[in-house]
Structure 1
Amino acid sequence: MIPDRTEVSDLLEKALAGAAATFQGMTAHRQESNCECHWGSAEELALLKTPDVPLDEDLLRRTYWTTDWRYPGPLLRRILPQLTRSLVAGRVMPMAGMDSLGYLFTTARWQEWPKGQRDALREFLDAWWLHILVEPDAKVPAHEALAFVAETTTTLSPWLAVWTESLVDAVARRRLVTAVEEWVDDL
C-alpha cells in the first residue's frame, strides 16, 4: 500500500535528515585529485576534502558530472547531504540523463559501504521514488528518476513494482502516461 502524500513527504524529510546526519563530516579521500584544466581549481578540490562546507551549485554539478575520480566512494559520501537535497529540488543536471548520475553511485560501490550508510542511502532512494510517483509538484520526471534508481541499484524490478502498486494514485498514472510518451520510440 502506497502511503498518502503527507506520509510520503514525512518519509522524504526523514530520509533527507538521515542522509545529512549519516554523511555529516565526510570528506573526499585525502589523495583525491583531478585535472585543473577540466574539473576545477586546487582550492575547489580542497573544499571537497573539508567536511560540511556547502558547495556552490556549479562545483557540486562539476563534481557529480566527473567520471574519473580515483576514490568515488568517499567523494560521493562527501556530497550526498547536498546532492540528495538537490535531487529533490530538481537542481541536479546530469550530462547525459539521470542514469549518468547513477554511474557515480555505481562506481562508488555504495552497496559495499557500512550498513548504516547503505541503509541511509537506500531509505532516501525509496522515499524519493515514492515522492516522484505521487507528488504533483515533483521536480524530476518519473521516467528520468526510474533510470537513476535503476542504474544506482543495478535493478529495475523493485522500482517498477512500487510504480505498479502506486497506480491507484492519479498522479502516478499520469507519470506512467508521460513515461510511455517519452519511451514510445524506444519501445
Structure 2
Amino acid sequence: MHLDETPARLRLDTALDGLAVTFRGMTAHPDECNCECHWGSAEELALLKVPDVELDPDLLRRTWQAVDWEDHGSVLRRILPQFAAALVGGRIEPVFGMAEVGRSFARGRWQRWPAEQAAAVREFLHAWWAHTLTCADTAVPAYEVFACCAEASATLTPWLTTWEALTHPAADRRLAEAADRWEKELLGDQLPWDAWENKEEMYTELTSWLLHHASGRLRAQGAPEELLHRIRLLGLTGPARWDDPHWPGHRY
C-alpha cells in the first residue's frame, strides 16, 4: 500500500489499473522485426509477441526507445502497462530527458487508437500529471513530466490548464522549479526541450502562460527576485530584453 493515499494518488493507481486491464493480452505484430545487431536478439523480439510477460529493464528501455518498428503502436500497446508503472516509479531514465518518452507515445499514434484504448492512455497521462503537481515528493521532476505529456499529445494546453487550476502549494513549488530550469532557454527564444511538433506554437503558449500566471505564485513561494525578473523579461524582445538591467547575461 502507498503511504500516499491522496485523491491524486488513488486516481493514478486507478489509471494504472486501467492500462493493465485495457492492454492485457496485447502483443507486437506477428511480423514485427528489428535489427539483431543494434536492437536485440530474436529471443528478445519473440517476447514482444507473447502477452503480459514482464520484460527486463534493459529490454524495456530498448523497446520504447527504438524508432524503427514497423508498427510502433502495437509494440507500445504490448509494453504500456509495465512502461507506465516504471515511468511513475522513476525507473525510466532517458538520455535526452522525458520528452524522449513522450515522442515514443507520439510515434505510437495513441490518439488514433480505438476509443477505449486512447481514453486509458489519456487518463494515465492526466492522472500522472495531476499527481506530480500535488504529491509531497515526486519520482520525476514536474518539468520532465510536463515535457513528456506535451510531446505525447503535441499540445501544452491541457497540461497548463491543469497547472493553472491546481492552487496547491506543491503545484507552486513545482512551478518555481520549472521556471528556474526553463528560464535560460526561454530567454533565448527556445523551448526547454526538443519538441517534435508545434515548436514555435508551444514556445509562444508557454511564455504567455508564465507571464500571466507565474509571477504571483512564484512570489508566494519566496522565489528569488532575479527569477521573477527573468520571467518578466519574457515579455520583452530584442534590445529591450538584452539592455534591461536585470538581463542575466546568458550566452547562446
For structure 2, the 5+ residue unaligned runs are 187-252
Code of the aligned partner of 2:80: L
Map of 1:103 onto structure 2? 103
- 1:6 lines up with 2:11 in the alignment: no
TM-fit CA distance, 1:114: 0.5
Map of 2:48 onto structure 1? 48
Map of 2:177 onto structure 1? 178
- 1:135 lines up with 2:140 in the alignment: no
Distance of 2:103 and 2:92 partners within structure 1: 14
Distance of 2:127 and 2:41 partners within structure 1: 35
TM-fit CA distance, 1:78: 0.2
Q: Closer, same or farther in 2 for the Cα pair 1:152/1:37, shift >3 Å?
A: same
Q: For residues 43-62 of structure 1, what are the alpha-carbon distances to aligned partners after superposition, in whole Å with 9 as ceiling and x for unaligned? A: 00000110000001111011
Q: Closer, same or farther in 2 for the Cα pair 1:116/1:59, shift >3 Å?
A: same
Matches for 1:145-184 after TM superposition, within 5 Å: 145-166=145-166, 168-184=167-183
Q: Counterpart of 1:184 in 2: which secondary structure?
A: helix
TM-fit CA distance, 1:5: 6.5
TM-fit CA distance, 1:179: 0.5
Code of the aligned partner of 1:46: A
- Aligned length in residues: 183
For the pair shown, the structure with the greater C-alpha radius of gyration is 2
Map of 1:74 onto structure 2? 74
- 1:87 lines up with 2:98 in the alignment: no
Code of the aligned partner of 1:41: S
TM-score using structure 2 length: 0.71
Calculate percent identity across the aligned residue pairs: 54
Distance of 1:84 and 1:179 partners within structure 2: 23
Aligned-CA RMSD value: 1.2
For structure 1, the 5+ residue unaligned runs are none
- Verify the 8 A CA contact 1:65 1:95 in the aligned structure 2: no
TM-fit CA distance, 1:95: 2.9
Q: Counterpart of 2:185 in 1: which secondary structure?
A: coil
Map of 1:25 onto structure 2? 25
- Verify the 8 A CA contact 1:32 1:69 in the aligned structure 2: yes
- Verify the 8 A CA contact 1:5 1:135 in the aligned structure 2: no
Q: Closer, same or farther in 2 for the Cα pair 1:175/1:126, shift >3 Å?
A: same
- Verify the 8 A CA contact 1:5 1:134 in the aligned structure 2: no
TM-score using structure 1 length: 0.95
Distance of 2:31 and 2:137 partners within structure 1: 41
TM-fit CA distance, 1:102: 1.3
Distance of 1:93 and 1:143 partners within structure 2: 14
Distance of 2:66 and 2:127 partners within structure 1: 26
Distance of 1:161 and 1:116 partners within structure 2: 24
Distance of 2:53 and 2:36 partners within structure 1: 20
- 1:121 lines up with 2:99 in the alignment: no
